[in-house]
Amino acid sequence: MFKYSLYTGITLLLSGCKLFVPSKYQNYFSDQPWDNIRLAKTDEIPQVVDSMVIMRSNREFYPYRKKFLGDKIDSTQQDRTFLVIAKNSKWIVYPVKDINSGISLTNKKQDLVVYVEGMGKNFYHAGHRAFGLSSQYKVLVVMMDYPSIEPEYGLIKNFRYARKNSFATAPSLINLLKELDNEKIAGKDWTKENWTLFHHSMGNIMLKRIMKERSDTILSPGLFDLVVFNAACTEMKNHHLWLEQSKLGKINIIHYNQDDRQLKGARILALKRQLGCKPGRHLAKNATYIDFNPLVGPRHSTFAEIPLRPPIHPHAREYFNQIFNGKYPDYKNKDKFSKVKNGTGYYLK
């Protein structure tokens, strides 16, 4: 197993300074998607449609450029909130005052998912994932968007860049969560649904920082019904220490996959075992561990349909639909779950 992970890590290292992009992804860094994205005028009123997400971003902002949200963190440390509407394959991005303003404009009362992505996302790709999650599971998505790829960098430099920016975005995330907390305390109608905090891959770096530094103590205990660490690209060692002291979620779930190729490569590059690959012997007493290996094999565990990738297994789709909508799994259901022999939670099968 280590030999395989070493091979993966070396493959990443040998990719050199230029980022290799297969032909099917050749437009990944293109500005072409921005032909279908526009920044709304100041006095423009949003039209309520089915496809709407809220994005809080700490990216550099250039309102008079075609690509108005860049690939670096804003040097002024300013966070901006946007209501993004998708209609007829085009996006309109509306700057709004705060989260409540954006959500109120959606006129929706749905279960809420605060969603943080991992490496490799510009604003367009992050938004695309947010829309996918929202439409697939019928939830209201609030995404914490941050720069996690720089087109001019190679793979190794981008790996470090994404890690650094995820860590640096923790204060922005805390500000977002505090805003949500205040709205819940105020009793706004949209706060009465189920709330999930969902971090994928490198997005877990900022969540770890928040919990380890105890920044979440300024928030109401149990602010989220569920906190999910999905395929966490963050160090496994001693994770129980910072997770057990956190009261951010009423329930904590850690999704892992012992054969995850990407996290095996990350282990080599970071020189640390990754939580989303192998939780280790010291488990957090306040978390449930779910092994996705039977469903995804060596792939980075996914939760939404992504173009050019294998479809989600029906059992995984059903599982995510349950947890995002406040219907927690029955781990005693032997058709869907079985206990991991070493005691590290359950297999999802």
Which residues have CB under 8 Å from 90's CB, separation 6+? 36, 37, 38
More confident site: 306 or 296: 296
Range of the domain at 52: 2-348
- What does the pLDDT read at residue 50? 86
Q: Would you call 255 helix, strand, or coil by DSSP?
A: strand
Convert the pLDDT of each residue in 177-194 to its tens digit. 999 999 999 999 999 999
- What does the pLDDT read at residue 6? 45
Residue 71 and residue 94: Cα distance in Å, rounded? 19
Q: Is 53 left (phi over 0), alpha (psi -120 to 50) or beta?
A: beta
Q: What is the mean pLDDT of residues 20-36?
A: 67
Convert the pLDDT of each residue in 57-90 to its tens digit. 999 999 999 999 999 999 999 999 999 999 999 9
Place 10 in a pLDDT band, splitting at 50, 70 and 90: very low
Compute the residue count for the chain: 349
Q: What is the mean pLDDT of residues 140-145?
A: 98
pTM: 0.92
Q: What's the domain count of the chain? A: 1
Write down the mean pLDDT value for the chain.
90
Domain harbouring 331, CATH code: 3.40.50
Residue 309 and residue 132: Cα distance in Å, rounded? 14
Q: Are the CB atoms for 229 and 251 separated by under 8 Å?
A: no
Dump the DSSP string for 239-263: HHHHHHT--SEEEEEEEE-TT-HHH
